[in-house]
Amino acid sequence: MNRQVVSAIALAVAALSAGQVLAQDAAPKTREQVRAELLQAQRNGDIIVNAETGQTARDMFPDLYPQSASVAGKTRDQVKAELAEAIRTGDIVADGETGQKLNEQAPHRYAATAVAQGKTRAEVKAELAEAIRNGDLVANTETGTTYREMFPGRYPAASTLAQGKTREQVKAELAEARRTGDIVADGDSGKKLNELYPNRFRAN
């Protein structure tokens, strides 16, 4: 027991003396330098927010912080312009505890960011219809298998799919498929209408 206590005391003294030696080698920092380092660490997400795991704010909330703290090759003017833009749009972390940005805390103070225009409803519906026709929809979400892969005989081969059809051609093909029941009706089995209801559709 005495040996353990003496070892612990010796270890503590060694650690304290090593810390003092290292502190003497480093130049003392001013209060402003320490504050600047703290603010920089908060901006970059380098502050430890979970003492148990040692995770930094950047580790826990990677979307809220820039990918790299400093980008090599940028001029001072470029950095100042980026900072001015971030201040203008509120894209600066305001709350170090939650990682919220200014534009998230007070969205009414900042203009909404432009969202990239997606596809129209008609375009999405057309893509869905084509995916159904070609068997490109996922049939089994666990394996990612498509209907074409599960039932290759029911869909045209990928290499024979027509490219660049006009709207009229597509509408004519859809009308013909409806008339003949050549449309997948049961997503689970992949059966077409003319297979489920053979009496409703006449064979050509």
Residue pLDDT, tens place only, 96-108: 788 888 888 888 8
Lowest mean pLDDT among 2-16, 104-118, 142-156, 190-204: 2-16
Residue 75's pLDDT is what?
87
The percentage of the chain sitting over the pLDDT mark of 90, rounded to a whole number, equals: 0
Looking at the predicted structure, is the pLDDT value of residue 73 above 60? Answer: yes
Contact 56, 45 (CB under 8 A): yes
- Spans of all domains in the chain: 35-115, 121-196
Query: Could you count the other beta carbons within 10 Å of the beta carbon of residue 53?
Result: 10
Residue pLDDT, tens place only, 109-129: 877 766 667 888 888 889 888
**Alpha carbon distance 18, 11 (integer Å):** 11
Per DSSP, 110 falls in state: S
Give the predicted TM-score (pTM) of the model: 0.25
Binning the chain into helix, strand and coil, the percentages to the nearest 5 are 55, 5, 40
Per DSSP, 50 falls in state: E
Residue 200's pLDDT is what?
84
**Alpha carbon distance 193, 136 (integer Å):** 18
Phi, psi of 168 (to 5 degrees): -65, -40
What's the average model confidence in pLDDT over 79-93? 87
